[in-house]
Amino acid sequence: MNFFKRKKNKLPFGKPLVDNREIISVANVLKSGIYAHGPILSKFENEFAKFTKSPFATTVSSCTAGMHLFYFSMGIGTGDEVIVPAQTHTATAHAVELSGAKPIFVDCYLRDGNIDTSILEKKINKKTKAICIVHFLGVPAEMSKIKTIAKKRKLLLLEDCALSLGATYNGKHTGLFGDAGVFSFYPAKHITTGEGGMLITKKKEIYNKIKIAKSLGINKSFLERSTPGFYDASDLGFNYRMNEIQAAIGLQQLKKIKFFLKTRKKNFNYLKKALSKNKDILILDSTKNNVKSSHYCMNLVLPIYLSKKRTKIIKDLNKENIGTSIYYPQPVPRMSYYKKKYGYNSKNFKNSEAISDRTISLPVGPHLRKNDLKYIALKTLKIINKFYGKQN
């Protein structure tokens, strides 16, 4: 489909909220002439570390890049295995593949889409080097159990926090339970830098390794060089850096994070209450008191008998100007690349399939007002109702 011909929904699934503060900050960077390695990157990293209460934070060009850097820097590669959820973005598994290791997929719980910890442990063998978990749609995974397993089996633990900025487990920010956590600043996320990400860690050695690896293995950063232009490449590395323009946007966005999170929560709770009138719809959410979700979006899972109607329901919602998405459209092991390479057994991914095949993801972002939510709830219930009892 021609992107420019595609009709835009008036209530989009995701919409970055930027105003003059971001625009002025970007303009100031452009005027300064410092576009890379600058002071705003450090400021953004410091503020992010403060917000998450992380000892170390370093910007990266994307969440995928950050996860790839982690495996690369930890020496994970060919012959190794990394356990990942089946119900996630392709990026979670791609980061493992890029390192040369093999992703081992684990099914999820239907209640919240998070990795099923009872299956996870059974997948560990001599080749397993790490576990990567995802906090699905901002609901923290069972970190006490997962941390215990990782410690007992001496495995590295990476948290894919692409959707969990602001989410906590037992009062601690996601990303601080394992060896590192990586966030995404893609436009639909809690805050944006256009594209971009942040890696946080409690471990200085990991922080130092990531900083070098993201910058081509060069031992001294631009600002640390005593003789301009002189450096040594002590290691192999990538250019996975964020730039100063992106950091300027991120810094302003971060100042609004409390408002963003509060609005998301309010929107989510409103929509959940309204849609709960239909008892056949399952709404994914946290079920525990010790977790605080960051409310990325609302996944409603249709009952089995309506699954074939999903596309029609989505089309009708879009016709009413309600933007939707599907998180995520397929269990990752069923994606062509993985299916071809490793094969796929549907039996092992029942819950991931239920979510992928029967979900409609609705927006709850801070771009929506109460009246928008009212409208979304009303139309969604009405449209779903229309398809009850219809076979085709």
Ligand X SMILES: Cc1ncc(COP(=O)(O)O)c(C=O)c1O
Site residues for ligand X per CB under 6 A: 62-64, 88-89, 91-92, 134, 160, 162-163, 184, 186, 197
Residue 80 amino acid letter: D
* Minimum distance of ligand X from residue 160's CB (angstroms): 5
Token pair listed for 175: 């990303």
- Give the whole-angstrom CA distance, residue 265 versus residue 246: 26
CB of 163 to ligand X, least distance (A): 6
Give 96 or 377: the residue with its C-beta nearer to ligand X.
96
Write out the DSSP string of 288-353.
-TTEE-----EEEEPPGGGGGGHHHHHHHHHHTTB--B-S-SS-GGGSHHHHHHH---GGGGHHHH
With beta carbons less than 8 A apart as the criterion, state whether 164 and 311 touch: no
Closer CB to ligand X, 197 or 365, in the complex:
197
Q: Name the H helices within the chain.
A: 20-32, 39-52, 63-73, 90-99, 117-120, 143-152, 204-213, 244-255, 257-275, 310-319, 336-342, 350-358, 370-386
Q: How far is the CB of 244 from ligand X (least distance, A)?
A: 18
Least Cβ distance, residue 5 to ligand X (angstroms): 25
Residue number with CB closer to ligand X (349 or 383): 349
CB 115, CB 123: distance < 8 Å: no
What torsion, rounded to 10 degrees, do the Cα atoms 305, 308, 312, 318 define?
Answer: 90
CA distance to 23, 139, 141, 188, per residue, from 164 (Å): 26, 7, 10, 13
User: Of 68 and 367, which CB lies nearer to ligand X in the complex structure?
Assistant: 68
Least gap, CB of 185 to ligand X (angstroms): 7
Nearer to ligand X, 184 or 306 (CB): 184
Nearer to ligand X (CB atom), residue 62 or residue 352: 62
C-alpha gyration radius of the chain: 21
In this complex, which beta carbon is closest to ligand X, that of residue 134 or of residue 284?
134
CB of 375 to ligand X, least distance (A): 26
- Report, in Å, the least distance between residue 345 CB and ligand X: 23
